[in-house]
Structure formats: C-alpha cells, structure tokens
Amino acid sequence: MARPQKLNKREKFKISQEAAKVVPKTVNNNKNNNIIVYYAFIIASVFILYGNSLNNGYVLDDFSVIKENNIVNLGSKSIGNIFKTSYRAGYLNVNDGLYRPLSLAMFALEWQHWPDKPFVGHFINLICYLLCGIVLFNFTRKLFPHIHNVVLLLAVLLFIAHPIHTEVVGNIKSRDELLCYLFSILSMLWAIQYFDSKKILYLVLSSFSLFLAFLAKESAILTIPLLLISLWFFRKDRFNKYVPILLATLIPFVVYMLIRRNVLGSFAGLQTVTILDNPVGAQTDFILRIMGSFQVLGEYIQLFVFPHPLVYDYSYNSIPLHQGITLPIIIGIIIICSLIAAMFFTYKKWPLISYSILFIFISLSLYSNIVFPIGAAKAERFTFLASTGFCIALIYLFTVILKIDISKYSPNDTKYKNLFYLTTVILVLYSVKTISRNFDWKNNYTLYSHDVELNPQSAKTHYYLGNEIIKELANNETDKAKKEALIMQGISEVRKAIQIYPEYSDGYAQIGVGYYNLNNNDSAGHYFKLSLKYNESNSVAISNMGSYYFNRGEYQKAIEYFNRSIALNPRFADAMMNLGSCYGSMGKYQEALVWFHKAFDIDPTNQKNITFLALTYQNLNDINKANYYRSLLK
C-alpha cells in the first residue's frame, strides 16, 4: 500500500484556503428569507427602549453644540463655515482641537427647518441608532456566515438594549458618535463584501463610508485595525489580498488629516488636558497614569457586565489621583490581565471570543489614556464601539456553555430555548435600566440633580447643578423670595465644587454671577477676581468684571475689561453687547451701535441685544430702524 504523500506548507495553505471558501456556501443561515422580520425586531426594540426620550429637551453639551452655537443657529448658510472651523467655534469662539463637521451640518439643517425643537434631534438620533443596529446585524451576517441569523440577532438586540448607550442616544450632541459608528461598521461591511466578491464598487463604497466616519469623529481611525483583525480572524489569506482594502482605508484617513490640519492648524489639534477634566491623563508621573488607566479600563468592563451606576461625568475627583497601588487599580489590572489570558486561551478553540476581546481592547485604546491623554478620564460614550465586542462575545459564550450548534436553528431545540430564556432575562434587566435612565436625561436639572447623588466626589457634578439652579431655575422664578432662595441654593452647590477643586476658576465666576443676580455687587466682584486669580485668560470672568464696574458706574473701567474679553474671544457676543451698553449709557450712541451690530452679526437671535438696537436707534430718532428691530422681537 502506497504511503500518503507529504504536502509542503504552500500546498497545505492552498487546500485550507479552498476549504475556507467552501464553508460559507454550505451554510444557509445568511439567506435573505424573512430578513424583514429581523429588521422589525431591531426597529421595534429601539422605539420601545428609547421612545420615552423623544420628549426630552436639550441636555449637557447640546447647548454648546446646538442651542447656543451661533454658527449652527444660522442654518444651512453656515454649512460652509462649519467645514472650515473647529467643532465648538460657534460657542464662545473656542478652538477645542476637534474637527467633526458632519453632525454639525445636520444640526444646522435641523435648526433651519425646526428651530429650537429638540424633539427632531432626538427622533433623528433614534433613527441613527436603529440604522446602527441594522448595519451591525448585516456586518455580523457577512463576517460570520457560519452562525445562524437568530444567534446574531440576539447579540444585536443585546447591543441595542445595553444601558451604557443611553448617553449616546439621549444626548443629541452625541450624533457624532452615532454617525461615526454607523459609517465605520458600514465601511467594514462593504470591505468584507469586496473581499468575498472582488467587486470594486464595494471597495469604493467602503472608502467613502470611512471618510464620512472621519468627518463625524476622529475615532474612526479605529476602523482600520478593527477591519484588519476581522479579516485576519475570519478571512485568512495571503497579505497581498489585504493590500487593496488597506489602501482604501488609508486614502480617507490621509484626506481627512490634511483637511483637519488646514482647519485646526495642526494634525493633533490644540486640546489641553487639565486635571479638572482628566485626573488620569493629566498625571505627570507615567507609572501613575498607566495604573489609573488600568483602573478605568477595568471599570469599563464592569459597566459592560453590570451597567450601574451610570453618570454623565467622571472628572476630578471621581477617579482620585493615587500615589500608589489601590484596590480599584488592582481590580482593573486583574480584569485586564484575565481578558488578555482569555484571548490567548480561546484563540484556537473559540476564535470568536478571542476576536471579541481584541475588538474591545482596540476600541477602548484611544480612550485609555495609555497611548496619549485625552480630554476626559472616563465617559460612557467612549464604550459605544467597544460594547459591540462584549455583546457578541457574551451571546457566543452562552452558545458554547449550552453546547449549541450555531450553524443551524430549530425552534424546538431545548438548548436554543435555554439560550432564549437566558438572553431574555438579561434583555429585560437592561431594558428596565435603559428606559428608567432616559428619564434622567429629560433636561439639565433632572440629569444634574440625579447624578450628583451618584457621584458626589466630582467637582463638575456640583458645579453643573449649581450653575443650572442659578442660570435657569432662579431666572425663571417670579417670586422674589423663592428666587433668592434658589440663587443661594445654587451658590451653596457650587461651593461644594470649589471644596473639591479649590482652583476651579469657573466655579468662582459662577458664584459671582449668583451674587450679581442678588444685586450684591461687591461680593460678585470679589468672586470674579478670584476666578481671574486661577485663570487670568477666562474671557467670561473678565467680561463679568466689566459688568461689575458697569454697575458701579465706572464705564471706562468696564470698557477696558470688555475689550480684554473680546480680544481673548473675538466672537464673544455678550461682551460686545455689554460694551455697546457702556457706550449707550455714556450717550455715545454711534459707538454703541457698532458693538450692538457686531453682536447681532454673531448672534442674530439674542433678544436683549435686539432690544438695545431698537432703543439706540430710537435715541438717534431713526424711527424706521427702531421699528425694524422691534419687529424682530419675539
């Protein structure tokens, strides 16, 4: 009997590749039969879970990005400017080192057709979220053709229901996260389709989709390594087969970076990391920063498994600056090391688990503060992409434990019934948490007052609550006694923020505003000066000092401060309006008009400034123009 002939490595590789090509064709789970039913489950889940968020208002960063953004408020005519300026250029002229024009352009169009209507923003966020679910479902169908659609649907439903996504869906501003995720996964889907079919159209679509993802958010860069590991795990082939896809991903990246550099003045942007915003990233000791990063990564994994408590802010001193190894750091190190060990242990027998763990690590890498510090130590929105790997891994782990044949589905199979029972329990728990969390995001006060109880060690949770009470609740109160009581309550809350972070410049400024509203001009001036002591470039505090001198009748001194504020922030409409008021009070109406018009050009919706324009023209006996500006008052 002849002995079997030995095969060399190349022959073995060729046979394995031919076998790999056959596998997808022998599996029937990816047929489009009843695909609409799967989509219906996804759509229904999104509206059931987030339908109660549609009546929520603007919250948190929605104000700086939408409601109080004087570029976005100009509507469609501002779109060209949006693509030429930084993310928050329309809010206090801030160059925040971010370039995300896609979501801003959408907000501008929405504002033009539905001004000051947060319902529209929330509805579009829901649509984007359900599209994310549908695209994720199709991506997993293409990437894992050997897994039945039912199993993949369970993973997607788990993703949709996960409470850690409530910030991304409930905060309209997080449209950047939704769009980046949508176009990133779509880019990966089309890249896989190109690899399987070699149709160049899919490669073009993949490249264009990735470019849109970059325009939505910089984190689209994660798509490139995620796509490469997807191909490596589930489309093993020679490297030259990956080259067209790699080039197709690098082209949009290079184009985006060149545009970004032209707009922001540098590739990296101008963002500064402060201890107040990011106590981990601002650590000067590299070892302490790494240890803090392990703690945060461990807490992210814990939130995947047990999403409670959920808080909108994790700034100073939510994650204390440690001088050594503490229990939270040890727990984080244990969790991360365990996942790394599990990734290597499962690589051969259960590659999908290994892939999912690697997917999580790559997705969190930009937010870990290990590679480079970012603007925040921790945020639930940073987990949006990474949670995909968790949901896939969890459902697949259940099928391994229950010993389910994932290539075929039988509704009468006891093992599948047990999978449904187990998944349903988790979905119900997640859904209850998600629906209840949506109520917290109803408005700023509901969010701030709820979360300050969950995270009382954060300076910002106290500051934001106090600021909201002074700025909104007290201003809307007509009863004088109640108004004063609310202002004092707000001041007390901001004082707690300063106790946590004594160098909180904005905190002192806000206390000054509180006293200013109480007509206690001397106390207001004292706190405005303290604000400038800790940040002499605080344009808002400088403008407030101008208001302090204005109330004292020292108009020349007030003009000096308002000019300083405008020099730091050339688009500071409020400071311009106040400067115009100084000249108006001095009887210099022509000079006053210059500044009122500059403020009007930047923010044509400011009712107080429009009133001042009308009064100034009235004082100049220009009745026609006075009546024109009165007609603009709402």
34-73 residue pLDDT tens: 899 999 999 999 999 999 999 999 999 999 999 999 899 9
The Cα–Cα gap between 531 and 604 comes to: 29
Q: What single-letter amino acid sits at 570?
A: P
The 3 state secondary structure assigned to 105-132 is HHHHHHHHHCCCCHHHHHHHHHHHHHHH
Q: How confident is the model at residue 371 (pLDDT cuts 50, 70, 90)?
A: confident
The Cα–Cα gap between 577 and 500 comes to: 34
| Chain position carrying tokens 């709402």 | 634
131-166 residue pLDDT tens: 999 999 999 999 999 999 999 999 999 999 999 999
**Which pLDDT score, from 0 to 100, does residue 323 have?**
66
Q: How confident is the model at residue 18 (pLDDT cuts 50, 70, 90)?
A: very low
Among 50, 175, 66, smallest CA distance to 118 is for 66
The Cα–Cα gap between 617 and 627 comes to: 9
Residue 171 and residue 61 in contact, taking contact as beta carbons nearer than 8 Å: yes
**Which pLDDT score, from 0 to 100, does residue 284 have?**
79
The Cα–Cα gap between 210 and 218 comes to: 11
Residues 6+ apart with CB under 8 A from 254: none
C-alpha of 238 from chain center: 38
Q: Six-digit token pair at 495?
A: 């004082």
| More confidently predicted of 320 and 539 | 539
Query: Does residue 112 carry a pLDDT above 60?
Result: yes
Q: What single-letter amino acid sits at 362?
A: I
Q: Six-digit token pair at 244?
A: 């067209």
pTM more than 0.85 = yes
Question: How far, CA to CA in Å, does 401 sit from each of 83, 158, 287, 296, 308?
Answer: 50, 18, 39, 29, 26
Q: How confident is the model at residue 16 (pLDDT cuts 50, 70, 90)?
A: very low
The Cα–Cα gap between 518 and 483 comes to: 9
Q: How confident is the model at residue 303 (pLDDT cuts 50, 70, 90)?
A: very high
**Which pLDDT score, from 0 to 100, does residue 33 have?**
63
Q: How confident is the model at residue 238 (pLDDT cuts 50, 70, 90)?
A: confident
Q: How confident is the model at residue 8 (pLDDT cuts 50, 70, 90)?
A: low
Q: How many CA atoms lie within 13 A of 179 on its CB side?
A: 23
| More confidently predicted of 270 and 343 | 343
Number of Cβ within 10 Å of residue 481's Cβ equals 8
**Which pLDDT score, from 0 to 100, does residue 272 have?**
74
Query: What is 446-631's CATH number, 3.10.580.10, 1.25.40.10, 3.40.640.10, 1.20.1250.20?
Result: 1.25.40.10
Query: Does residue 29 carry a pLDDT above 70?
Result: no
The Cα–Cα gap between 569 and 31 comes to: 58
Query: Does residue 3 carry a pLDDT above 50?
Result: no
Cα torsion 46, 51, 55, 59: sign: negative
What's the angle, vertex CA 506, arms to CA 472 and CA 380, rounded to 5? 75
| Chain position carrying tokens 């995270």 | 455
| Chain position carrying tokens 């498994």 | 305
Question: What does DSSP assign to residue 538?
Answer: -
563-573 residue pLDDT tens: 999 999 888 99
Q: How confident is the model at residue 32 (pLDDT cuts 50, 70, 90)?
A: low
Residue range 158-182: mean pLDDT, rounded: 98
The Cα–Cα gap between 270 and 417 comes to: 54
576-620 residue pLDDT tens: 999 999 999 999 999 999 999 999 998 888 899 999 999 999 999
Domain extents for the chain?
Answer: 34-437, 446-631
**Which pLDDT score, from 0 to 100, does residue 270 have?**
53
| Chain position carrying tokens 């009122």 | 596
376-430 residue pLDDT tens: 999 999 999 999 999 999 999 999 999 999 999 988 899 999 999 999 999 999 9
The Cα–Cα gap between 84 and 259 comes to: 9
Question: How far, CA to CA in Å, does 179 sit from each of 55, 135, 166, 174?
Answer: 22, 12, 15, 9
